[in-house]
Chains A and B, each alone.
Chain A
Amino acid sequence: MAVAAPGQLNIEESPPSWGSRSVDCFEKLEQIGEGTYGQVFMAREIRSSEIVALKKIRMDNEKEGFPITAIREIKILKKLQHENVIKLKEIVTSPGPETVEQRKEEGNKYKGSIYMVFEYMDHDLTGLADRPGLRFTIPQIKCYMKQLLTGLHYCHVNQVLHRDIKGSNLLIDNEGRLKLADFGLARSFSNDHVGNLTNRVITLWYRPPELLLGATKYGPAVDMWSVGCIFGELLFGKPILTGKNEPEQLNKIFELCGSPDEVNWPGVSKIPWYNNFKPTRPMKRRIREVFRHFDRHALDLLDRMLTLDPAQRITAKDALDAEYFWTDPLPCDPKSLPKYESSHEFQTKKKRQQQRQNEEAAKRQKLANPLPHSRLPPIQHPGQSHPSQWSGPNHPVNHSQPALPSGPGHHHYGKPRGPPGGPNRYPPSGTQGTNYNPNHGGGATQVRGYAGGPYPTQGRPPAYGGSSMPPGPAGGPGAPGGYGGPSNFPQSNQYGGSTTNRSLNQLANNRNQQYGWQQ
């Protein structure tokens, strides 16, 4: 294009592709989540009727302008293009508080709002796992894990650390595709610029020991720890490491993975807070004991993910090569997965909150308790090294996939079949409903409730306590005992009250605490 002669225009206006569209192009439908720094809405693009997710960027720091977290997320998302990474479609702005409601809502703080427009995904992993009665099958878990690792491997190759891997940030659509989302805490790392990074990242339950010990130089291994926690959670049926504060989280890690020392983790004693937090007595690694009912290959993989020393922890690439993904039952094709009605942790939480309120009301009226919610772990082979535990007959198969030749079918979708474990899987019903939310009173009874049961139920009211259920094979002799009864977790007393952790209020607090950091 030649420069026009004086008086003539080169271009009438800036090319139309520049600048951003207005949020008015979308019709907000409902709130579906709370991102790291703003609300997330489901919305419809008016022109195309396409459903999208709008993530509002909160602009509450008037002193430092556009949040650096948003800058990071935008930069990173524009860089990452992968089928297992959420796609940022565009960024739209709202012109400003022109309407009265808007002005009220914004408090006139900033002239306009900014939204990131994402492809819409029907579920997040936590929301899906929390659906009453839903139980993942082994091929399904393998399928999700494989996608999670593929997406993460892509991030790591592109030198991006996600730094907030957890179930609610793993979105799943009705085609069974899993995508990493919420890069609000993500950072680029480069091998030639070794800056210090903050250790105040990753939601507590998924935070690796090196961060809890105060390390400020770290790498992709931090995400792999989180993946290990999720993997364990998928197989176990509930979160596996649920500290309510940082020291307790570390303690739980040590109790499961053994205490760190210079032998199993060279250099650990030089990490800033090692001396403050090192356990008083050596503890032995008991992953293989606690989770002995897991399939052998699953256990091998979990063991390598939950390795204390980040340098020895398995990488995403190596994890994808693990036997687990290449032995029967193989990961299923995402498309073969069942379609579920939309669920996000935010919504399921809201629903459960509602349910709890109903329960409370019901209790007050001395009516029968409705069945509260709990997750079901998958039905799985115990490790082949413990064949004696697998004594049950084939259980009824209820699935849409061909049965796999390796053994009895162990996947069935949907309908509640009762928990797989024996009655001792869950604490007695005495503590039901009282331990979920501190605002609902209770919690004091938790110590007893926990000691009586195997693992804590992390704020999900224990279900089906003591009720009768069809004796599935997984509930047969041996298997449920493997969850680690009181004898496996002698520390139960100190966990009193830990189950309040998942309440919305506290989550919000955690967020503020974590995300106020700028580095």
Chain B
Amino acid sequence: MAANFWTSTHYKQLLDPEDVDVVHPPDRERGITVEDFKLIKMQMVTYIWKLAQHVKVRQRVIATAVTYMRRVYTRKSMSEYDPRLVAPACLYLAAKAEESTVQAKALVFYIKKIYADEKYRYDMKDILEMEMKILEALNYYLVVFHPYRSLTHLLQDAGMEDMTQFTWGLVNDTYKMDLILVHPPHLIALACIYIASVYKDRDTTSWFEELRVDMNVVKNIAVEILDFYENHRSITEERVTAAFSKLALKA
């Protein structure tokens, strides 16, 4: 995907963090907290990731699918839109939108393979129906920009090509958060480069100074990412299970 980010619908739709962390009323009634909400979304990122590895699609497709999923939950509740169906349906739609079509049949096959749990059991018809609902929830805005492209350019410019793999991994991890809904992708890329340079002790101060970006914003994003890593350690299997049990959709 190309075009200009600043004229894109992606840019126009960037949200305030306060608007992203909203638990919808039906979910709240089930006792789901903002923390649960985040946990479930994170769990679904892992799900999309696993599934994507089986059907062999590019990183871009995963990133787009995750973004769709996160956008859906800024507007829809998990009680109405079961994450365990939304996740594969988002992957299905993202694969089309990113020109790496995956057959619905294949998805259904691998879902069974990955999860023995009945709650994940959906068939083709369900996925196709959810695809339509997702399209509508997204209001047919399908274009997503990701930090990957700017990352490559920026690393080159900074003469840090050797850090590509490390920063790429950092960018991947940002999809476990809602950053992509809140910040322009190139700033996320810069924040990852910033973290990498601090982590690996590279002096990039002058390079960052020459960029005409607000370093405060970059640093704030970096702090968010570091906070996430910090919190991530405290996430346990039990907490995830507890969050899902509140959903208790396919009882």
A399 at the interface (CB under 8 A from B): no
Given contacts A65-B127, A68-B96, contact A18 B139 (CB under 8 A): yes
Interface window among B2-10, B162-170, B172-180, B220-228: B2-10
A519 to B95 Cα, complex, angstroms: 12
Interface window among B41-49, B99-107, B233-241: B99-107
B16 at the interface (CB under 8 A from A): yes
B248 at the interface (CB under 8 A from A): no
Select which of A3, A20, A159 is within 8 A of B139 by beta carbon. A20
**Which residue of A has the minimal Cβ distance to B99?**
A195
A10 at the interface (CB under 8 A from B): yes
A81 to B9 Cα, complex, angstroms: 11
Give the distance to chain A from B168, nearest Cβ to Cβ, in Å.
15
Interface window among B113-121, B130-138, B204-212: B130-138
A332 at the interface (CB under 8 A from B): no
A74 at the interface (CB under 8 A from B): yes
Residues of A within 8 A of B199 (CB): none
Contact B128 A11 (CB under 8 A): no
Select which of B2, B34, B104 is within 8 A of A3 by beta carbon. B34
B214 at the interface (CB under 8 A from A): no
A190 at the interface (CB under 8 A from B): yes
A502-519: contact bitstring with B at CB < 8 Å (1 yes, 0 no)? 000000000000000011
Contact A65 B131 (CB under 8 A): yes
A78 at the interface (CB under 8 A from B): yes
B161 at the interface (CB under 8 A from A): no
A353 at the interface (CB under 8 A from B): no
Residues of B within 8 A of A74 (CB): 140, 142
Contact B142 A63 (CB under 8 A): no
Select which of B9, B22, B93, B127 is within 8 A of A11 by beta carbon. B22
Tell me the interface secondary structure of chain A in the complex: loop
Select which of A3, A10, A81 is within 8 A of B7 by beta carbon. A81
**Which residue of B has the minimal Cβ distance to A11?**
B22
Residues of A within 8 A of B103 (CB): 63-64
A65 to B125 Cα, complex, angstroms: 9
Residues of A within 8 A of B4 (CB): 158
Give the distance to chain B from A4, nearest Cβ to Cβ, in Å.
9
Contact B96 A66 (CB under 8 A): yes
Interface centre among A74, A93, A518 (most CB of B within 10 A): A74
Interface centre among A9, A19, A64 (most CB of B within 10 A): A64
Select which of A1, A63, A158, A519 is within 8 A of B124 by beta carbon. A63
A75 at the interface (CB under 8 A from B): yes
A188 at the interface (CB under 8 A from B): yes
Give the distance to chain A from B141, nearest Cβ to Cβ, in Å.
6
A62 to B127 Cα, complex, angstroms: 12
Contact A75 B105 (CB under 8 A): no
Residues of A within 8 A of B28 (CB): 6
Give the distance to chain A from B127, nearest Cβ to Cβ, in Å.
7
Interface centre among A66, A112, A190 (most CB of B within 10 A): A66
A71 at the interface (CB under 8 A from B): yes
Select which of A9, A18, A20 is within 8 A of B25 by beta carbon. A9
Residues of A within 8 A of B139 (CB): 17-20, 91
Given contacts A65-B132, A66-B131, contact A14 B9 (CB under 8 A): no
Contact B142 A71 (CB under 8 A): yes
B1 at the interface (CB under 8 A from A): yes
Give the distance to chain B from A164, nearest Cβ to Cβ, in Å.
17
Give the distance to chain A from B9, nearest Cβ to Cβ, in Å.
6
A184-197: contact bitstring with B at CB < 8 Å (1 yes, 0 no)? 00011010100100
A100 at the interface (CB under 8 A from B): no
Give the distance to chain B from A89, nearest Cβ to Cβ, in Å.
12
Contact A19 B131 (CB under 8 A): no
Residues of B within 8 A of A18 (CB): 75, 137, 139
Give the distance to chain B from A501, nearest Cβ to Cβ, in Å.
31
Contact B132 A19 (CB under 8 A): no
Residues of B within 8 A of A195 (CB): 99
A79 at the interface (CB under 8 A from B): yes
A18 to B139 Cα, complex, angstroms: 6
A11 to B27 Cα, complex, angstroms: 13
Residues of B within 8 A of A17 (CB): 139
Residues of A within 8 A of B101 (CB): 64, 68, 518
Given contacts A65-B92, A65-B128, contact A19 B7 (CB under 8 A): no
Residues of A within 8 A of B215 (CB): none
Within 8 A of A (CB), among B6-43: 7-9, 16, 18-19, 21-23, 25, 28, 34
A2 at the interface (CB under 8 A from B): yes
**Which residue of A has the minimal Cβ distance to B21?**
A3
Select which of B1, B75, B97 is within 8 A of A14 by beta carbon. B75
**Which residue of A has the minimal Cβ distance to B95?**
A68
B155 at the interface (CB under 8 A from A): no
Give the distance to chain B from A26, nearest Cβ to Cβ, in Å.
17
A10 to B148 Cα, complex, angstroms: 34
B160 at the interface (CB under 8 A from A): no
Select which of B34, B76, B93, B143 is within 8 A of A79 by beta carbon. B143
A2 to B34 Cα, complex, angstroms: 12
Give the distance to chain B from A71, nearest Cβ to Cβ, in Å.
5
Identify the 4 closest CB pairs spanning chains A and B, nearest first. A159-B2, A65-B128, A68-B96, A65-B131
With contacts A64-B101, A158-B2, A195-B99 known, what are 7 further pairs, Cβ within 8 A? A10-B23, A64-B104, A65-B92, A65-B127, A78-B140, A159-B2, A188-B1
* B contact residues vs A (CB 8 Å cutoff): 1-4, 7-9, 16, 18-19, 21-23, 25, 28, 34, 75-76, 92-93, 96-97, 99, 101, 103-105, 124, 127-128, 131-132, 135-137, 139-143, 149
